[in-house]
Chains A and B, each alone.
Chain A
């Protein structure tokens, strides 16, 4: 879908300060923002974007929409996402942080039933450098190129994109799946999207301690991904058993959090990737070298 040049996007919560700021930035990047939604502001415009009270009022005016970027307060996210799904939108990006996990459980059930891709919450969104910006990515760190970048953490992924860009390596698609404990899309879903994307030659996966997403991703790479993957995991020196910032970065032993085997520790994540022969960078600055190495091996053509 990201190869579509006229990707149509709406912004739910365009009346919120953050929505307004990023509406302007997305538009300036060239994203085709066709409408904004903000109940009570119907008929007005922001950045020359027409505003509607409801998603279902916008669609007859602007035609079918590919994606909605949501900027509403956290407790209103579930409702906004349901509204978008009901109107037939099949890609939803949630930038808001602090959505209660059980709202996400409800939304994930709904998304699976309707084949909707939900990105976030607490996500910087998706950027196809040089083409489309859906979310809050600072565009200046990104350039077009062959690396697909998947990350749980916003600012850390900016750091890594910048390292790549400085080393002369651009990016095909970058996604932040979100740092919260329950997020809409998994590493596996994005590995599959990047595997199928023609522009992507190498995948960089940025993990962090807590959760079992990286372990599951390692198994999936082994089974289903043919493109080279480079991994970096942050937090190997973080003290165990402490809460670190957002909910996604909790290391919990025992019963709370993840059920079953020993997972979530940096050791278990790194071991899982090494077991399936995926190179693991020790620090962000190593990622460009590792990417260059695999590009050379695969005979990457300079365009």
Chain B
């Protein structure tokens, strides 16, 4: 979960990373009680990048100008997202701008420190010039100094920049983050450092042990209402596309393989949904289909309900492979959905269901499926072909 800039800066401030005096603006009228002196920057608080270029950052010197600018920014969507709050921040005269980040390197399975003396909006263009230091053992401040030196820094800047990197690393570890980024880190003419913009991505799987971050994340979730993401507990596993074949499957890898097969058969996926989620916010919910057939059944039913209500969907392809327990749960869910749908949608556009099920163990489940108005196939490629053919009718 990406935090907003003002939330990231709160965390920077707590950690002792220098940030400018700033104030959260929930409404343009809040500017009348502004506690920081002009001139200020007003910044749209959205999660997308490219704010400056889109007009989401404005510099103002008076209250009248500030209120007008705030009204404009509140009404300016950036990549479809409207800000719920703005950040008013003191203006800073940076002499130079650096790029700093801490991320996880999945291959090395270690955190890595990143830094470049070409920061700001140019950072991405000079991406290949970013220096890296892998924290391969227990962290010690020398890793941060190693980065500063690799960046080509000299004199007092080595200590002041590495001190910021060290604090970023501690924040990263203490709060289980996926990313801490400062871009730009402003360097004043006198060599003073200042985090002018910041980005923090919290790790979703660790939110359960960081209630304070989970609270921040929930504030954003409330703010950002994407139309294509349903309010399901497992919505991370749902991806909306433009076609007419909906894919419901267990396991991310198998979901992607099924998606590929539908495309190979000439079909056009409407969406795909992995009903084997691993995301949860609380420590106690180990979501795993075999351990909780009840949960799997609910997930399949909710998923069918969700994709079945999408008017462009002509065929739902359900692909389940697993233990007899998991298969039983999936069949029960499909059974109840098919029966319900027959009653509620009689006479409307037909919706075909193709069910592919493997691992049921005995004939009983197959017989239950045979009595339903759906297409049951055991071979995956035949099932995808069937689904694509039905979508063409």
Contacts and interface: CB of A to CB of B under 8 A. Distances in A.
Contacts of A259: 103, 105, 112, 114, 132
A211 B104 CA distance: 11
Contacts of A182: 104, 106, 109
Contacts of B292: 17
Interface string B148-184: 0000000000000000000000001100101101000
Interface in B30-70: none
Interface string A136-163: 1010110000000001111111110010
A25 to B, nearest CB: 9
Nearest to A249: B252
A283 interface: yes
B111 interface: yes
B279 interface: yes
Contacts of A100: 176, 203, 205-206, 209
B283 interface: yes
A21 B291 contact: yes
A74 B286 contact: yes
A167 B238 CA distance: 33
Contacts of B290: 18, 21, 136
Nearest to B123: A255
A276 interface: no
Interface in B258-296: 259-264, 269, 274, 276-280, 283-284, 286-288, 290-292
B346 interface: no
A158 B112 CA distance: 35
Nearest to A18: B291
Contacts of A249: 252-253, 256
A101 B179 contact: no
A156 B264 contact: no
Interface string A179-213: 11111001000000000000000000010110111
Nearest to A284: B257
A245 B132 contact: no
Interface in A256-300: 256-260, 282-285
A145 B138 CA distance: 43
B323 to A, nearest CB: 5
A122 interface: yes
Interface in A94-129: 96-102, 104-105, 108-109, 122
Interface size class of B (residues with CB under 8 A): 35 or more
A41 interface: no
Contact of A98 (B178, B249, B252, B286): B286
B208 interface: yes
A284 B257 CA distance: 8
A257 B103 contact: yes
B111 A105 contact: yes
A181 B104 contact: yes
Contacts of A155: 249-251, 253-254, 276, 321-322
B6 to A, nearest CB: 20
Interface in B315-330: 321-323
Contact of A216 (B107, B237, B264): B107
A101 B323 CA distance: 28
Interface residues of A, number: 71
Nearest to B255: A245
Contacts of B380: 159, 284-285
A157 to B, nearest CB: 8
A169 interface: no
Of B110, B112, B251, B280, which is in contact with the most chain A CB atoms at under 10 Å from its CB?
B251
Contacts of B370: none
B106 A211 contact: yes
B239 interface: yes
B209 A246 contact: no
A109 B286 CA distance: 25
A285 B254 contact: no
Q: Which of A17, A99, A101, A254 is packed against the most chain B CB atoms within 10 Å?
A: A101
B288 A18 contact: yes
A75 B308 CA distance: 36
B281 to A, nearest CB: 10
Contacts of B241: 239
Contacts of B237: 244-245
Interface string A16-35: 11100100000000000000
Contact of A122 (B103, B201, B278): B278
A234 interface: yes
Contacts of B260: 234-238, 283
B95 interface: no
A16 B203 CA distance: 25
Contacts of A21: 290-291
Contacts of B253: 151-157, 179, 206, 208, 234-235, 249
A87 interface: no
What are the nearest 9 A-B pairs in CB distance?
Answer: A153-B253, A245-B252, A155-B251, A156-B253, A235-B256, A100-B206, A97-B278, A245-B274, A18-B291
Given A16-B291, A97-B288, A237-B269, 12 more contacts: A73-B283, A96-B286, A101-B206, A109-B137, A152-B253, A182-B104, A212-B107, A238-B256, A239-B241, A245-B252, A256-B179, A258-B106
10 contacts: A21-B291, A96-B286, A101-B104, A101-B203, A101-B205, A105-B110, A155-B251, A157-B253, A158-B359, A256-B201
Interface of B: 101, 103-107, 109-112, 114, 124, 127, 132, 137-138, 172-173, 176, 178-179, 181, 201, 203-206, 208-209, 236-237, 239, 241, 249-257, 259-264, 269, 274, 276-280, 283-284, 286-288, 290-292, 321-323, 358-359, 361, 380-381
